[in-house]
């Protein structure tokens, strides 16, 4: 699932002319938003075998009052997915591929949300699930994984160590499917971007703000908007703004230094534990998305993250600290977002990690 030359993530390519022929534009564009509505942009041909728990179709909440200088400020509330995070989109496709491939077990390394999501979809599909986690994972997320019947292995290392363990366990085992931030997850996660455009009546926002952990979400959203333009559904692209926690900011550093090298952060510790990925597998793709779009990369402190979490909560949107990272970054964009239509992605539900809430 990695490039044999550089060990970076792989990317999927499509025949977009074929996709254009598949989509009946009027029918497609009027159908209600939902994850599998966008199946022509995913690597699945037999829709009778998809594994779905009703993921996608999450709210786009207007919170312009929090950013009054913006023309419109919208929060894509991914906590409304079945297991409480955007990870369900990628998990739906990954477990679909596992089932189609005849696998009986899913194996994954995770900082929390992705493991909970894969555990749920694996259980729903009748597959066993093995999850390798670093010690930083929030207790509520471990409890959620156990509730789905997953086998859990805790490593004393960081996420990169957990990922190596998962990859080694799957290598040579034809019964196991390696889930995680690999190509199929990216292809499933793209539907966040498709839905944003769909919910805006096929108009493209001026900017999209997303957190960066492994970098998969931000690259997937950028790829989605490019595919919409390639197939003629939309005619514009948004600025992409990436946000990382100060204590785990390898992509921000690479962006600031104008380099194509991601220098790992060893054993990162931050309140935004869901994005504490010191060696982001899609870090270079995240950089590519930001640079191609003309966007920027921002770091935020743990204190700024918690303030953003509390401010969203006091306005009706409850997220975990990691889910508030993008809004925290929006607060530090200066005049970049003035008079612009902005979508901020809130990635995970507040009940997953209630750090600092008494």
Q: Residues 229, 31, 211, CA angle at the centre, nearest 5°?
A: 55
pLDDT (mean) for 75-104 = 97
Residues 6+ apart with CB under 8 A from 223: 186, 190, 193, 289
Which strands, in side-by-side order, build the sheet including 151-155?
151-155, 128-134, 105-109, 176-178
Given a cut of 80, is residue 2 above it in pLDDT?
no
* CATH 3.40.50.1100 domain residues, the chain: 60-86+185-352, 87-181
* The predicted structure's pLDDT at residue 29: 87
* The predicted structure's pLDDT at residue 196: 98
- The rounded distance, in Å, linking the Cα atoms of 31 and 19 is 17
pLDDT digits (tens, 9 = 90+) for 234-274: 999 999 999 999 999 999 999 999 999 999 999 899 999 99
The CATH number of 60-86+185-352, from 3.40.50.1100, 3.40.50.300, 3.30.70.260, 3.40.50.880, is: 3.40.50.1100
Residue 198 host element (H or E): helix 191-199
pLDDT digits (tens, 9 = 90+) for 140-150: 999 999 999 99
**Are the C-beta atoms of 75 and 117 separated by less than 8 Å?**
no
pLDDT digits (tens, 9 = 90+) for 107-141: 999 999 999 999 999 999 999 999 999 998 999 99
Given a cut of 90, is residue 7 above it in pLDDT?
no
Q: How many CA atoms lie within 13 A of 124 on its CB side?
A: 21
* The predicted structure's pLDDT at residue 120: 98
| Residue (of 120, 96, 115) closest to 48 by Cα position | 96
- The rounded distance, in Å, linking the Cα atoms of 145 and 148 is 5
Return the beta strands (E) in the chain as ranges: 60-62, 72-77, 105-109, 128-134, 151-155, 176-178, 207-211, 239-245, 297-300, 341-346
* The predicted structure's pLDDT at residue 4: 82
The CATH number of 87-181, from 3.50.50.60, 3.40.50.1100, 3.40.50.970, 3.40.1190.20, is: 3.40.50.1100
pLDDT digits (tens, 9 = 90+) for 286-306: 999 999 999 999 999 999 999
**Beta-bridge mates of residue 107:** 130, 178
Kindly report the length of the chain.
358
Mark residue 248 as left, alpha or beta (left: phi above 0; alpha: psi -120 to 50; beta: remaining).
beta
- The rounded distance, in Å, linking the Cα atoms of 23 and 5 is 36
Which strands, in side-by-side order, build the sheet including 239-245?
60-62, 72-77, 341-346, 207-211, 239-245, 297-300
Name which residue leads in pLDDT, 332 or 11. 332
* The predicted structure's pLDDT at residue 252: 98
Q: How many CA atoms lie within 13 A of 81 on its CB side?
A: 35
């Amino acid at each position: 699932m990695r490039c044999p030359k550089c060990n970076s993530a792989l990317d999927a390519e499509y025949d977009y002319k074929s996709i254009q022929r598949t989509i009946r534009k009027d029918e497609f564009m009027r159908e209600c938003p939902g994850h599998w509505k966008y199946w022509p942009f995913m690597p699945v041909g037999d829709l009778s075998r998809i594994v779905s728990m009703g993921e996608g179709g999450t709210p786009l909440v207007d919170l312009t009052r929090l950013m009054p200088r913006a023309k419109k400020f919208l929060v894509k509330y991914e906590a409304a997915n079945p297991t409480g995070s955007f990870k369900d989109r990628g998990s739906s496709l990954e477990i679909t591929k596992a089932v189609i491939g005849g696998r009986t077990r899913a194996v994954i390394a995770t900082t929390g949300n992705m493991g909970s999501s894969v555990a749920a979809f694996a259980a729903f599909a009748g597959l066993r699930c093995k999850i390798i986690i670093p010690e930083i994972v929030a207790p509520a997320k471990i409890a959620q994984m156990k509730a789905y019947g997953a086998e859990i292995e805790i490593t004393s290392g960081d996420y990169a160590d957990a990922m190596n363990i998962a990859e080694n366990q799957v290598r040579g085992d034809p019964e196991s499917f390696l889930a995680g931030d690999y190509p199929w997850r990216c292809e499933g996660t793209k539907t966040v971007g498709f839905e944003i455009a769909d919910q805006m009546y096929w108009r493209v926002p001026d900017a999209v703000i997303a957190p960066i952990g492994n970098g998969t979400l931000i690259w997937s959203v950028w790829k989605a908007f490019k595919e919409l333009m390639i197939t003629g559904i939309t005619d514009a692209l948004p600025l992409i703004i990436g946000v990382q926690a100060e204590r785990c900011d390898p992509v921000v550093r690479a962006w600031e230094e104008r380099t194509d090298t991601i220098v790992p952060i060893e054993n990162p510790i931050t309140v935004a534990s869901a994005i504490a990925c010191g060696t982001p597998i899609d870090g270079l793709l995240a950089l590519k998305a930001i640079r191609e779009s003309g966007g920027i990369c921002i770091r935020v402190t743990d204190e700024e993250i918690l303030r953003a979490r509390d401010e969203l909560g006091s306005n009706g949107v409850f997220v975990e600290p990691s889910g508030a990272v993008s809004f925290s970054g929006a607060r530090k964009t200066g005049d970049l977002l003035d008079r612009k239509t902005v979508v901020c992605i809130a990635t995970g539900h507040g009940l997953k990690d209630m750090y600092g809430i008494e």
